[in-house]
Structure 1
Amino acid sequence: MNHRQVLESLSGLLLVLFVAMISGTVVSVALPQIIGALNGTQSQFTWVITASLLASTASTPIWGKLADLFDKKLLLQISIVLFTVASLACGFAQNAGQLIAFRAVQGLAMGAVQILAQVIIAAMISPKERGRYNGYLGAVMAVATVGGPLLGGLLTDTSWLGWRWCFFIAVPFTAVALVLLAKTLHLPDTRRTGVSIDYWGATLIATGVSVLLIWVTFVGNSFAWLSWQTAAMAGGGVVLLALATWVETRVKEPVVPLHVIRRRTPALAILASLAVGMAMFGGSVFLGQYFQTSRGFGPTEAGLLTIPMMAGVLLSSTISGRMVSRTGRTKPYIMVGLIVLTAGFLGLSTIDHATSLVLISLYMLLVGIGVGMSMQNLVLVVQNTVPLREIGAASGAITFFRSLGGTVGVSVLGAILANQVTANALEGLAKAGVPVTGATTGKIGPNLGSLPEPIQEIIKVAYGDATGHIFLVSAGIAVVGIIAAAFLKPATLRDSLDLPSEPKQEATASA
């Protein structure tokens, strides 16, 4: 495909990727209205987001492997149709149980679109040229993650649309993308004969990851860290993943190629990507809550206040992508990006209920720049080390671990935030002379409307002062990413689509 054909295909890929990514966060600010309209419970409130994240994260390596075995274009078209049908079903859901089930199906398609877009770009463009195109890809993914709450707020606040359009809005765009890709995307037929699909490995990986993510989501709230539920879920998840590892070492076509992720470069890139995953998800989720709960802004205003982060991602991913294509080097941009990301987190760790919005915007800009410079370049590092026939599985592996890190990070940071808010609120109530009882503690949460004005102010201050703690933890995790990236071997991106040498030789050279 020439440059014009690549751009035509890329427009369809980026469109469907943007819609799929934004669907993961577009409901975050609309959830109170959604659950209220469907008469749902607090547990169902959590599961509307968790269901799609679980399905997306657990299925990512499976879709990546399928892309190595079957027609990539056909798989993408199937996933787009599945996503469109699931989005329509979510919009027409009549109760919270139906919505959660349809969100799980939507998450399955989201995982497919995210990884297949990267795999198809890798099948069209050499790693060196892929830098600038991956810049566009990274910008779309990150802006969609951060911009989802803004779009959700606008749709929910518009009286003649409402929360159901958080799901319906995807349908016309996916239809256009389907037509564009059918006309413009032309890939060689890479289907292989004698294919054996690793059903056992896929099932064990998906189940093990799901069990662990369910445990992380509910531990500390529904049950204690030291409890039989923790032993059963955490222990069971570890056992299932251990069995999956055993299976993956013995099957002909493993879902996750262990010989790839055991190499030095992919292993270090995966470790560094965990920090980027936490930045993407944690930044959009908890900053939006901070602006609404502590500073008193509405959903749309809170979304608008995250624009500096979106701008940082958009500019840095586009510029760094072009520079990577020009030089063929990735490590300097990854290192600078992770250092800037850490500086942004350290800045956010100092915020409280009265911090200047100008300062917060500056810190968010730094976080956005860091994410944009590092996210897709880490994927590119891994893709550069594997032959074309393994590009899907390798891309799926790093995307899987990044999503897993983001999901676990949000759950852990959420638990830290909840505990810190409770401690700050109880301290504030005691200073104000308000009797602290079990009933009072139970009312400490983001829903402030039912509380008296003086208590509302105490809770707002508690949220504002607690938010900085979670970003200090994020800064510490980002430092781990810097250390991992520092040990990456400097390498020049190849000009060819495939490795010039045999996979075995490359494996030895990359070990």
Structure 2
Amino acid sequence: MATTTPAGVRGSHPKHSGAAPEAGAPMSHRQIMEALSGLLLGMFAAIVSSTIVTNALPKIIGDLGGGQSAYTWVVTASLLAMTATTPLWGKMADLFSKKALVQIALVVYIVGSVVAGFAQNPGMLISARAIQGIGAGGLSALAQIIMAAMIAPRERGRYSGYLGATFAVATVGGPLLGGVITDTDWLGWRYCLFVGVPFALIALIVLQKTLHLPVIKRKVKVDWAGAFFITAAVSLLLLWVTFADDKYDWLSWQTYTMVGGAIVLALIFTLVESKASEPIIPLRLFKNRTITLASLASLFVGVAMFAGTVYFSQYFQLARGKTPTMSGVMTIPMIGGLFISSTVSGQIITRTGKWKAWLVAGGLFLTAGLGLLGTIEYDTPYWRVAIWMALLGLGVGMMMQNLVLSTQNQVAPQDLGSASSMVTFFRSLGGTIGVSALGSVMTSRISHHATDTIGSLSPQEQQAAGKAMAGGSLPDMSVLPGPIRNWLEAAYGSGIADIFLYAAPIAFLAFIVTIFIKEVPLRTTGALEQAAQGDSTPAAAPAQAAAPAPAPEQVPSLVGAGAPVADTRTQRLAAVAATAGDVPVGGTPVRGFVRGAESAPVPRAAVTLISLGGRQLGRAVAQGDGSYSVDAPGAGSYVLIASADGYQPQASTVLVGEESVTYDILLSGTSGLTGVVRASETKAPVAGAMVIVTDVRGDVLATGQSGPGGEFTFAELVPGPVTIAVNAPGHRPTALPVEVTGSGVTRIEIDLHSGSQVQGTVRAAGRALNDARVTLVDAAGNVVATATTGDDGAYAFTDLDGGEYTVIATGYPPVATGLSVNGSGVDGHDIELGHPGE
């Protein structure tokens, strides 16, 4: 019943899997940009493939003989495939090589693009777009995951700005390029679907040369059941949204059947995920408030974002009579707003570490932009539409990347892929639902406005107008007579404006959700560096003395006078800060604040700036408000070390340019936990008891055994609630919650109750039965223990809790007997088995 552990593990922390090259050393700006080049090329190809068809879709659907439903499904199929597969890509990124996965996603995207280019009918095009969506889902999820693996959250803002800039360029360039290709007779719309292929091929080559990430080597199990049920649930929900109000009413038996089926599939998915060893979406992540709220906000942002980008081409081409090329040009204000807000917010977040204000402001801009766009008509002055589109773009740019950033800042490296893809999944899900539902609503609103205003036409014109609207296909405005064209343009203008108005309350919900997201200071290490540091967490016993001062440009190992200390990167750098002399230099100031829990200032904290080789360059002591300032000798990468009594030392990489750098440092408090394990009846100390400390998520923080006096000690625990579990031979295991205080040592006493026992003899025909199997089952039906009798037929179970049990003996026809266990237990519970046939 008891678990034994070698004595040497007392007070040590567990080691986590995964290691980064160079012991988790941070990557330089050049290395990051080289690795990002292929990712950005792949993202550019995926985004171009989705945006380049927006202005060409009216022409494409017209040539292939499709209608408004086909128009919606060409967009929805790609979004649906991307939504359904994003969690699977994210989970596989936690298990397999991220480099191989992003290359597979590019290959899938290329195949889908080629098939789409040769499509002969709407069905073939929709299927090919679904294949494209699978590849695009991998690219969009993996780009965020790989960035988070390489770059610390505090530095990620500037690089997310590059991703936002790529998104903006591809978004604005795609429609323009698609319009030019569509309007060029010797090219045609099919080349719109081929144009992303060369970019994807170049990205494959660049990624092979520049992206070098460690591969996780561990046994894996992909949750295919979870992938199936979440895909089925989302697909059924989207089929209902797409055909509602077209094939059947919103309130109909089809609605009840499909929505009910989607709910059942979602419940099955939840059940599967709760039992899966490697779930696609770990349900425990939703215990984190920030992750839950960010996912919900992403759902609402997705509805608003895709509603704005997908239907602008129809507005400009069908309501304002513009060419595909001009339609792309007229959406530039929205893309400009997205470009500016994503890049500027990323740079400022990197400098200040503050991100929540951008989310809240983005929600306001998004709501205002959609609300104002809901008032447009076919003849609204373009300058007004441009301003309102810019507001929409500003809101999307501020929220899209920063919601992912806030989530990635909350998770451990092993959950990075799942958490990142979860936010992307909800954004894609919102976009897919939004495009499907709002597309269906738009069709009915256009018909409604057309019916209301058809009385303004003459009887002959009404007859011609009926023919133009018949068949469900998109009308060719260029061949319609003037009065009919004006009537139809007005109907399209009002109908498309209605969907913006319907999307505005959803954007407002996103704004409300972001208000309740708690701002947590951004970490200063990337996921690979965190994983490497977690792989070499120091033992509980601290060093008692530091090594002598190192020579310049060397980083020494620490050797304590007491217990041996793990040679970790943070401790090596802390040793340099503690032992090297002050080297006053002038240059570029690096200043900021040292803060602890709840952003409280940490006065008297020692802040040291060293070179990457280990030479001290500057030193400062934080003021009463936590502020500090040190000077770097010039532009480059440096290591900033902060330490203070009662806190874990923090080492961070700082990139210094020509201007002063603002860099805030967050220190985690360190606390001790000590106690004694005793027998509850005699109060005698229990030696050799296994003591296990776990956090609120169930992760093991430390393990050890009690000493001869029953004592145990753990040092350097992060303050907060933990669970202490204790078990020892001859005693019943116990667990209790403990709150580790922010400073000092928390002391506890743990009483173990002696375990009950059940013993007896198994006989057959009055003689002891050898090799009979005896099973003990508790009242809940759980197997507690099993035993096999020896030559004397005896069996015994020890260390039992009191309660009702069932003893089952087999060897001959099985016999089951019930018994109650209390106090010391039951002695002499003999079992008589009969021969077969007796």
Structure 2 length-normalised TM: 0.58
- The Cα of 1:224 is off from its aligned counterpart by 2.0
Give percent identity, aligned residues only. Answer: 49
Matched, 1:483 2:512: yes
- For 2:524, the aligned partner's letter is D
Q: Distance in 2 between matches of 1:40 and 1:362?
A: 33
Residue 83 of structure 2 is matched in structure 1 by 57
- Offset at 1:383? 0.5
C-alpha distance after superposition, 1:454-500 (max 9, x if no partner): 22211211222333322222221111111101011121100022467
Q: 1:269 aligns with which of 286, 294, 299?
A: 294
User: 1: CA distance between counterparts of 2:223 and 2:472?
Assistant: 47
Look up the match of 1:165: 191
Segment of structure 1 superposing worse, 435-444 or 384-393? 435-444
Question: After superposition, where does 1:41-52 map in structure 2 within 5 Å?
Answer: 43-52=69-78
**Residue 24 of structure 1: SS of its match in structure 2?**
helix
User: Structure 1 residues 152, 338: closer, same or farther in 2, change over 3 A?
Assistant: same
1:73 aligns with 2:74: no
For residue 134 of structure 1, what is the amino acid of its counterpart? S
Aligned equivalents of 1:194, 1:445: Cα separation in 2: 53
Aligned residue-pair number: 509
- Secondary structure (helix, strand or coil) at the match of 2:51 reads coil
The 1:68–1:439 alpha-carbon spacing in structure 2 relative to 1, beyond 3 Å, is same
Q: CA deviation at 1:303?
A: 0.8
Is 1:429 the counterpart of 2:454? The answer is: yes
Q: Give the AA of the match of 2:155.
A: E
1:334-483 equivalences under 5 Å are: 334-432=359-457, 434=459, 442=470, 446-449=474-477, 451-483=480-512
Out of 523, 544, 550, the residue aligned to residue 494 of structure 1 is: 523
Change (3 A) 1:503 1:57: farther
Query: Which string of whole-angstrom CA distances, capped at 9 and with x for unpartnered residues, describes residues 213-236 of structure 1?
Result: 122122111222223332332221
What SS does structure 2 have at the residue aligned with 1:56? helix
Task: Report the Cα offset of residue 170 of structure 1.
Answer: 1.2
With over 3 angstroms needed to count, the CA separation of the structure-2 counterparts of 1:98 and 1:348, relative to structure 1, is closer
For 1:90 and 1:465, locate their aligned partners in 2 and report how far apart those are by CA, in whole Å.
32
For residues 366 and 442 of structure 1, do their structure 2 counterparts lie closer, same or farther at Cα, with a shift above 3 Å needed? same
- Relative distance call for 1:44 and 1:309 in structure 2 (3 A) is closer
Contact 1:329 1:492 in 2 (8 A): yes
Superposed displacement of residue 44, structure 1: 4.4
Letter of the 2:504 counterpart? A
Larger Rg: 2
Structure 2 residue aligned with 1:301: 326
Where does residue 90 of structure 1 map in the other structure? Answer: 116
- Cα separation, 2, equivalents of 1:48 and 1:412: 14
Give the residue type in structure 2 aligned to 1:225: W
Segments of 5+ residues of structure 2 without an aligned counterpart are: 1-26, 535-667, 669-692, 700-719, 722-838
Residues 274-323 of structure 1 show CA distances to partners (whole Å, capped at 9, x for unaligned) of: 23222321112222211111111111101100001111111110010011
Instruction: Tell me by how many angstroms 1:35 deviates.
Output: 4.0
Q: Which of 163, 169, 186 pairs up with 1:137?
A: 163
Describe the shift of the 1:287–1:92 C-alpha distance in structure 2 as closer, same or farther (beyond 3 A). Answer: closer
Over 3 Å counting, the alpha-carbon distance change for 1:84 and 1:428 in structure 2 is same
For each residue in 1:88-123, what CA deviation from the matched residue of structure 2 results, as whole angstroms up to 9, or x when unmatched? Answer: 222233444433332221111111111011111111
Q: Distance in 2 between matches of 1:143 and 1:210?
A: 31
Asked if 2 retains the 8 angstrom alpha-carbon contact of 1:215 and 1:230, the reply is yes
Give the partner amino acid of 2:126: I
Moved more, 349-358 or 39-48: 39-48
Note closer, same or farther for the CA distance 1:423–1:407 as it changes in structure 2 (3 Å cut): same
Find the aligned partners of 2:46 and 2:351 in 1 and give their Cα distance.
30
Q: Work out whether residues 111 and 131 of structure 2, in 8 Å CA contact, stay in contact via their aligned partners in 1.
A: no
> If each structure's strand is expressed as a fraction of its own residues, which one has the higher value?
2
User: Whose helix fraction is larger, Structure 1's or Structure 2's?
Assistant: 1
Q: TM-score, normalised by structure 1?
A: 0.93
Distance 1:102 1:411 in 2: 18
Q: Give the CA deviation at 1:249.
A: 0.9
Query: 2:210 is matched by which residue type in structure 1?
Result: T
1:394-425 Cα offsets, whole Å, 9 max, x none, are 01111000011111112222233222222222
What's the RMSD between the two structures over aligned residues?
Answer: 2.5
The one-letter amino acid of 1:373's match is M
Gaps in structure 1 of 5+ consecutive residues: none
CA displacement at 1:503 relative to structure 2: 9.5
Secondary structure of residue in 2 paired with 1:249: helix
Greater RCO between the two (CA within 8 Å, min separation 6)?
Answer: 1
Code of the aligned partner of 2:475: N
| Contact 1:142-1:280 at 8 Å conserved across structures | no
Whether the 8 Å contact between 2:68 and 2:472 is mirrored in structure 1 is: no
Contact 2:72-2:436 within 8 A present in 1 as well:
no
Partner residue in 1 for 2:749: none
